[in-house]
Amino acid sequence: MNFKSKLPNISTTIFTEMSALAKTHNALNLSQGFPDYPSSQKLNNLVSTAMDNGYNQYAPMAGNLELRLAITKKYNLLYKSTYHPDKEITITAGATQAIFTIISAFIHKNDEVIIFKPAYDCYEPAVQINGGITIAVQLSAPNYQVDWAEVASKISSKTRVIIINTPHNPSGTIWSKGDMLQLQKLTANTDIIVLSDEVYEHVVFDNQEHQSVCLYPDLKQRSFITASFGKIFHNTGWKIGYCCAPEALMAEFRKVHQFNVFSVHHPSQKGIADYMKDAATFLELHNFFQRKRDLFLNLISESRFKFQPAQGTYFQVLDYSEITDEYDVDFAKRLTAEFKIASIPLSVFNTNNHDDKVLRFCFAKTDETLVRAAEILNMI
Ligand code: PMP
Ligand code: GLN
């Protein structure tokens, strides 16, 4: 059959590719970001209780109300910021659907979307499929600092959306208050929408604070926040997330959302709402992951990989330039096949596959997996 592809240059994602390669070679899989330990038994039980108690039919289009109330409470607690549960919060099928739906709702043909590279892989195809054009700002290892003068030079009358992501996947860096103020200044008095992908909001290390757009009033009124329970509660397979935005933006979002998924898995929403009654379930997350990051980095401190400790997320970037000058995709594949450890090469997220000779390793793993991973990395 003949058809014209809407995404002619897109192939299977690197996450799928590397996870499949890990399986083929029976390698330790630190590539795709997911935990190798179970999700909480208490949470699992709450979801099955929800099923037993009849939460088996369509949830309201915006999502289960108790869950939206739990989210309102969380933003009040953490940021003293209010999102109205009826009008400003929608539960989605993971952050990915929220991101796709936001872009579908607001991007017209030839609208421009500014993204920062390395960029999480779902942003660019979503823009393309909706007829938009991505304008990239390339950040460089090891600090991935933003040159705000460059951003300013790339904003035009066609700029419709700026996508930001702090804590940042894949680099593990976070944005400072200064970055947020720069963004606020550059977007002031414009109609630019900010899509703030905050899926790792609870995973910020070393006593630093997460910079949510909701802390900055002028940013808040133009922003969507996207979030993922898969990342918070160690169950990426459930694909439940949410987004928050001021009422007018959210009303537009829901016009698309209702015909995209309408609503998402109801018992999981009810179970998560009950689980979140104990705020420790998300407030303690950074300690849990910081201990894992430190364990992993201590174990590989004598290896030939160089690193700056991740400031957030559950990913650690390792620089292998002292080991080889191979292209990162080739090196990642060779490590998987020969050394039985899989990672993610960063160049695939960069403009023109720019190669900083760094690989991303996921440390959302049992201590035992991290010890085995370190043994391998120390041999390379
Ligand atoms: N954004 C970023 C930065 C991510 O790392 C991920 C992957 N978890 C997502 C969005 C998508 O989240 P979800 O699995 O909830 O769709
Ligand atoms: N967010 C996950 C990661 O960064 C991957 C999710 C996916 O495979 N699409 O590894």
Is 328 exposed, middle or buried (CB count within 10 Å of its CB: 0-12, 13-18, 19+)?
Answer: buried
pLDDT at position 18 is 97
The rounded Å distance from CA 58 to ligand 2 centre is 27
Q: Is 140 in the pocket of ligand 2 (CB under 6 A)?
A: no
Atom number of ligand 2 nearest to Cα 33: 10
Would you place residue 276 in the very low, low, confident or very high pLDDT band (cuts 50, 70, 90)?
very high
**Average pLDDT value for residue range 203-220:** 98
Look at residue 218 in the predicted model and tell me its pLDDT.
97
Q: What is the pLDDT of residues 135-183, one digit of tens each?
A: 999 999 999 999 999 999 999 999 999 999 999 999 999 999 999 999 9
Task: Tell me what the mean pLDDT of segment 298-322 comes to.
Answer: 98
Atom of ligand 2 nearest to the CA of 169: 4
Q: What is the pLDDT of residue 91?
A: 98
Q: What is the mean pLDDT of residues 274-280?
A: 97
CB 194 within 8 A of CB 205: no
Q: What is the mean pLDDT of residues 87-101?
A: 98
Q: What is the pLDDT of residue 201?
A: 98
Tell me what pLDDT residue 165 has: 98
**pLDDT at residue 317, rounded to an integer:** 98
Q: Is the CB of 32 under 6 A from ligand 2?
A: yes
Are 312 and 211 a contacting pair, CB within 8 Å?
no
Q: Does residue 296's CB lie within 6 angstroms of at least one atom of ligand 1?
A: no
CATH class of the 14-32+284-377 domain in this structure: alpha beta
Close Cβ partners of 293 (under 8 Å, ≥ 6 residues apart): 205, 309, 310, 314, 316, 363
Tell me if 219 sits within 8 A of 185, measured CB to CB. no
- CA–CA gap between residue 65 and residue 71 (Å, rounded): 10
Residue among 88, 89, 87, 113 nearest 100 (CA): 113
pLDDT band at 355 (very low <50, low <70, confident <90, very high): very high
d(CA 241, CA 228): 4
Return the ligand number nearest the Cα of 96: 1
Check residue 348 and give its pLDDT: 96
Q: How many Å lie between the centroid of ligand 1 and the Cα of residue 230?
A: 8
Average pLDDT over residues 106-117: 98
Distance from CA of residue 374 to its chain's centroid? 25
Contacts of residue 365, defined as CB under 8 A and 6 or more positions apart, other chains included, come to 30, 35, 36, 37, 292, 373
The contacts of residue 347 (CB under 8 Å, 6+ apart) are: 327, 328, 329, 353, 354, 355, 356
Ligand 1 atom with the smallest distance to the CA of 99 is 10
Distance CA 352, CA 62 (A): 39
Confidence of residue 106 (pLDDT cuts 50, 70, 90): very high
Residue pLDDT, tens place only, 213-250: 999 999 999 999 999 999 999 999 999 999 999 999 99
The pLDDT assigned to 375 comes to 98
CATH class of the 41-277 domain in this structure: alpha beta
Adjacency order of strands within the sheet including 358-362 = 315-319, 358-362, 344-345
Give domain limits for the chain: 14-32+284-377, 41-277
Q: What is the mean pLDDT of residues 313-338?
A: 98
Closest CA to 118 of 350, 322, 278, 352: 350
Residue 283: closest CA among 228, 225, 230, 232: 232
To test the ligand 2 pocket, which listed residue (14, 34, 99) has its Cβ within 8 A of the most ligand atoms? Answer: 34
pLDDT value at position 117? 98
What number does the ligand 2 atom closest to the CA of 121 have?
A: 9
Pick the ligand that lies closest to the CA of residue 115.
1
Q: What secondary structure letter does DSSP report for 61?
A: T
Q: Which of 14, 96, 346 to mutate to test the pocket of ligand 1 (most atoms within 8 A of CB)?
A: 96
Q: Tell me the percentage of the chain whose pLDDT exceeds 70.
A: 100
Predicted confidence band of residue 63 (pLDDT cuts 50, 70, 90):
very high
Angle in degrees, CA 112, 263, 82, rounded to 5 = 70
Q: Quick one: pLDDT at residue 136? A: 98
In the DSSP assignment, the letter for residue 306 is B
169 Cβ below 6 A of ligand 2: yes
Q: What is the pLDDT of residue 225?
A: 99
Torsions phi, psi of 182, nearest 5?
-65, -45
Mean pLDDT of the chain: 97
Provide CB contacts within 8 A for 204, sequence distance 6+. 167, 174, 210, 286, 311, 312
Evaluate whether 14-32+284-377 and 41-277 have a shared fold. Answer: no
Closest ligand 2 atom number to CA of residue 16: 8
- Mean per-residue pLDDT for 18-36? 97
DSSP state of 86: T
Does the beta carbon of 35 sit less than 6 angstroms from any atom of ligand 1?
no
